[in-house]
Chains A and B, each alone.
Chain A
Amino acid sequence: MTQAQLAQTSAPLLAVRDVSVVFGGIVALNGVSFDMQQGQILGLIGPNGAGKTTLFNCLSRLYQPSAGDILMEGRSILTRPPHRIAEIGIGRTFQNVALFPNLSVLDNVRVGTHARTSSDIISDSLRLAWIRRSENSVNTKVHEILAYLDLEDVAHKTVSGLPFGTQKRVELARALAADPKILLLDEPAGGLNHEEVHVLGDLIRRIRDDRHVTVLLVEHHMGLVMSIADHVVALNFGRKLAEGTPAQVQADPDVIKAYLGSKDQ
């Protein structure tokens, strides 16, 4: 059985239930529901303004839905502040890369472990034995991730000077450092060329298989979504338009209409 088939048999890892978001009278999301199974790569697609990023920001707790609920392993995440999302296993990357530009690659990824470690300013100032032990294990883990994503050559470089594609990998590394169960990727193919998109697709699949991470992919790039997603959800004007395998969604008349426009328009 493949991972995707196995996934269908268990309870959803993440469940989006009738989520609506209203911004001052404008309905950005209107009763959207879908499930994410363990080990899935779920593609969230839709034209500009469809509500993809709004939904994404609900999942990362930057927006509060006006109705509905989001359940992670059966428990609502909506009572958690944004900084307590990483600890339950939700990691994310940003649309235009949001790294810490003055820090080295190593430190960016070390910050990723924040949710999985603990310390206080007094122990940190005195560099107590338990702090040194914890830092050692952080370093081991960070170097493992850098090696995995082929970033060791630039480990000590400041990120602001790195090429965009490399910065995107650093962001992935930072997200992986928090041991996420779900990785939310916001338009990872944006700004990449054809070849890079192909490599990225392989990388996302590899991360899912090797590290048992479930992936939510919000993406404009149809080729990428259709080639790597197990399951696709299409949004338009804040509503769910279609859901199914990539082939099913691609063949859906409503989706075709939303992307290409209908004859009578």
Chain B
Amino acid sequence: MSAIEEIASQAPAVDAVPKRAMTLSSGTTFVVVLLLLVVPLFVKNFIIFQMTMLLIYGLAVLALNILTGGSGQFSLGNSAFYAVGAYTSAILMEQYNVNYALTLPVAGVICFGFGFLFGQPALRLSGVYLALATFALATAMPQILKLGFFEHWTGGVQGLVVTKPDAPFGLPMSQDMWLYYFTLAITIAIYIFSVNLLRSRSGRAFMAIRDNEIAASAMGIDVATYKTLAFGVSAGITGVAGGLGAIAVQFVAPDSYTIVLAISLFLGMVVGGVGWLPGSFVGAAFIIFVPNIAEGISKGLSGAVFGVLLFLVIFLVPHGARQVAMVAQQLLGKLRKN
């Protein structure tokens, strides 16, 4: 057996979800969307803000999920794309007075290009080596943003303050609530596009590459192009999330986008279940709320408590929220039969 044959027959790097199981059933989707629409009407502004952040991080985790769960490439560098998106929106809004909604597609396109270009050298790497290369990108980004050369636009170490937009057409809602619904609309749109993409010919090409590059190439799939496209799409969505994040937090600064953010996104993906798109939002909830819970348990040892909670999750449900959802589905099925 030749070396190529051995490579052709080896197991894929990512043990991903079957494609059918990547999304929720229509009934569950309806309930979730209804809750997302109604709940903000009954809660305080701070909770609405947290729900907005959940959607934003959810988008960023979703983007990573398309890259890792879809095309089998690892990234610890998505915080860099998030930063580029955030700064693009902030700079356009504050320095050039562009409408906030218009800055998001620009952030998406710039990050797509950035991700596509970064995907080129990444083609030569895979698995942990790729993760390390993207790690370098994540560690470099805050320093690049602090450079004196860019200070005129980025505000250097100080960062930029972003004005929160008012609700348009004189709608009677708070800024927070408007921004929530605005974010929700974008999230739903991107979620639908992502599901469509993964179910399409391109999505199949991503997953074929994830499972077996040599066989994918024999089927006529241009592995290099699709791998860089996956990077581009992932970076583009992360960029939109970053732009939304800048508007929601009303502030961008280099140290908000360190490797810690990249690792959080990665963590969110694992906790949500690699390759399971709805899990992205469960993972986002984990990275937003669990540190708060840990702080509630012990102020001084919040990091350690977080670690223990994370351990518990990984031991009890190694496939993350996806596993919980599958068990729940089986239980429901049994209940219906009885």
Residues of A within 8 A of B (CB): 53-54, 57, 60, 62, 82-87, 91-92, 94-104, 107, 110-112, 114-115, 117, 119-121, 124-127, 131, 134-135, 138, 156, 158, 174, 178, 186
Note all chain A residues with C-beta closer than 8 A to B12. Answer: 101-102
A83 touches B223 (CB 8 A): yes
Nearest-neighbor residue (CB-CB) of B223 within chain A:
A83
B219 touches A114 (CB 8 A): yes
B216 touches A111 (CB 8 A): yes
Nearest-neighbor residue (CB-CB) of A158 within chain B:
B18
Q: How far is the CA of A103 from the CA of B203 in the complex (A)?
A: 11
Note all chain A residues with C-beta closer than 8 A to B15. Answer: 102
B197 touches A121 (CB 8 A): yes
Is residue B215 contacting chain A, with contact meaning CB distance below 8 A?
yes
Label chain B's interface by main secondary structure: helix
Q: What are 21 pairs between A and B in contact, CB < 8 Å? A: A83-B218, A84-B220, A86-B220, A92-B218, A95-B1, A96-B9, A97-B9, A98-B8, A100-B207, A100-B216, A101-B212, A102-B12, A102-B18, A103-B204, A104-B18, A111-B208, A112-B219, A124-B197, A131-B200, A135-B200, A158-B18
Q: How far is the CA of A89 from the CA of B202 in the complex (A)?
A: 21
B208 touches A103 (CB 8 A): yes
A94 touches B205 (CB 8 A): no
Given contacts A57-B4, A83-B223, contact A98 B208 (CB under 8 A): no
Q: Tell me how many residues of B have a C-beta within 8 Å of chain A.
A: 41
Is residue B152 contacting chain A, with contact meaning CB distance below 8 A?
no
15 further A-B pairs in the complex, CB-CB below 8 A; given A95-B1, A99-B215? A83-B217, A83-B220, A92-B218, A96-B5, A102-B16, A102-B19, A103-B207, A103-B211, A104-B19, A111-B204, A121-B197, A121-B233, A124-B197, A125-B193, A125-B194
Which of A107, A121, A124 has the most chain B CB atoms inside 10 A of its CB? A121
Q: How far is the CA of A127 from the CA of B202 in the complex (A)?
A: 11
What is the minimal beta-carbon distance from A101 to any residue of chain B, in angstroms?
6
A111 touches B219 (CB 8 A): yes
In the A-B complex, the 6 residue pairs with the closest CB atoms: A115-B220, A86-B220, A124-B200, A100-B211, A125-B193, A98-B215
Note all chain B residues with C-beta closer than 8 A to A174. Answer: 219
Is residue B324 contacting chain A, with contact meaning CB distance below 8 A?
no
Q: How far is the CA of A120 from the CA of B19 in the complex (A)?
A: 20
Note all chain B residues with C-beta closer than 8 A to A158. Answer: 18
Residues of B within 8 A of A (CB): 1-2, 4-5, 8-9, 11-12, 15-20, 193-194, 196-197, 200-205, 207-208, 210-212, 214-223, 229, 233
Q: How far is the CA of A95 from the CA of B6 in the complex (A)?
A: 9
Given contacts A94-B5, A102-B207, contact A124 B201 (CB under 8 A): yes
Q: How far is the CA of A115 from the CA of B220 in the complex (A)?
A: 5
Task: Return the contact of B204 from the options A60, A94, A110, A121 (Cβ within 8 A).
Answer: A110
Q: How far is the CA of A201 from the CA of B191 in the complex (A)?
A: 47
Task: Return the contact of B220 from the options A100, A114, A127 (Cβ within 8 A).
Answer: A114
Given contacts A98-B212, A103-B207, A126-B193, contact A178 B9 (CB under 8 A): no
B196 touches A124 (CB 8 A): yes
Nearest-neighbor residue (CB-CB) of A94 within chain B:
B8
Given contacts A87-B220, A114-B201, A117-B201, contact A107 B8 (CB under 8 A): no
A111 touches B205 (CB 8 A): yes
B221 touches A114 (CB 8 A): yes
B218 touches A114 (CB 8 A): no
A178 touches B18 (CB 8 A): no
Task: Return the contact of A62 from the options B19, B196, B202, B214 (Cβ within 8 A).
Answer: B214
A53 touches B205 (CB 8 A): no
A107 touches B19 (CB 8 A): yes
B214 touches A100 (CB 8 A): no
Note all chain B residues with C-beta closer than 8 A to A53. Answer: 1-2, 5
Note all chain B residues with C-beta closer than 8 A to A126. Answer: 193, 196
Nearest-neighbor residue (CB-CB) of B69 within chain A:
A102
Note all chain B residues with C-beta closer than 8 A to A91. Answer: 218
What is the minimal beta-carbon distance from B204 to any residue of chain A, in angstroms?
5
Task: Return the contact of B202 from the options A54, A92, A103, A124 (Cβ within 8 A).
Answer: A124
Q: How far is the CA of A230 from the CA of B319 in the complex (A)?
A: 52
What is the minimal beta-carbon distance from B170 to any residue of chain A, in angstroms?
32
Given contacts A102-B210, A124-B200, A124-B201, contact A62 B219 (CB under 8 A): no
Nearest-neighbor residue (CB-CB) of B224 within chain A:
A83
What is the minimal beta-carbon distance from B237 to any residue of chain A, in angstroms?
11
Note all chain A residues with C-beta closer than 8 A to B215. Answer: 94, 98-100
Which of B4, B194, B229 has the most chain A CB atoms inside 10 A of its CB? B4
Q: How far is the CA of A237 from the CA of B201 in the complex (A)?
A: 43
Q: How far is the CA of A53 from the CA of B1 in the complex (A)?
A: 8
Note all chain A residues with C-beta closer than 8 A to B11. Answer: 101
A119 touches B16 (CB 8 A): no
